[in-house]
Amino acid sequence: MDEIERIAFNNAGELFKGSVLHFKVNANNPSYHLLRVKEVVTEIARYDRDSWPSDEKWEDILPGWFIERIKSYDINEILSNSSVLWDYGSWLDAMKNRGWKWYSSNVFEGGFSIYLEAKEFPFSVNPLEYVIYESGVLLPNITFTEEF
């Protein structure tokens, strides 16, 4: 099963042996937020480093709601909120070199979980945290853990 299939079909919190990266997210209407996250990651998963589109092409590939959000901030807002906000080009570069693959997710009462498989070290999960944030979840409701 490839990553796009796992995003679509591994929806029961399936686990694997290896380096597990886990986001636990508390949210009202968790199915809605997880669907938005999956919309973005599904598009990212269609490309590897060798076939990575230009920043301009990504504007047509990624969901409109996400492009509208990430491009709505000016540099001063990004610098003032550097622990939360991302510059569009920097976010794309980080996703290109993320070092993980989506493995599974699940929805539970009051939230959802995402399980990633670390493929490279170092890996970068902050760009995914940003997608979760832009789906409408506040940062204090997002927890990340690693299991090796």
pTM for this entry: 0.96
First to last CA, the chain: 22
Number of domains in the chain: 1
pLDDT digits (tens, 9 = 90+) for 59-91: 999 999 999 999 999 999 999 987 889 999 999
Q: Which residues contact 131 (CB under 8 A, 6 or more apart)?
A: 36, 37, 40, 41, 66
Rounded distance between C-alpha atoms, residue 20 and residue 100, angstroms: 9
For residue 115, the enclosing domain spans 3-147
CA atoms within 13 A on the CB side of 10: 22
- According to the model, what pLDDT value does residue 148 have? 82
Q: Which residues contact 116 (CB under 8 A, 6 or more apart)?
A: 20, 21, 22, 23, 100, 101, 102, 103, 125, 128
- According to the model, what pLDDT value does residue 17 have? 92
Rounded distance between C-alpha atoms, residue 46 and residue 25, angstroms: 25
Rounded distance between C-alpha atoms, residue 86 and residue 37, angstroms: 16
- According to the model, what pLDDT value does residue 82 have? 79
Q: Which residues contact 91 (CB under 8 A, 6 or more apart)?
A: 70, 127, 130
Average pLDDT over residues 37-44: 98
- According to the model, what pLDDT value does residue 137 have? 98
pLDDT digits (tens, 9 = 90+) for 88-124: 999 999 999 999 999 999 999 999 999 999 999 999 9
- According to the model, what pLDDT value does residue 68 have? 97
Six-digit token string for 106: 């699940």
Phi, psi of 32 (to 5 degrees): -60, -50
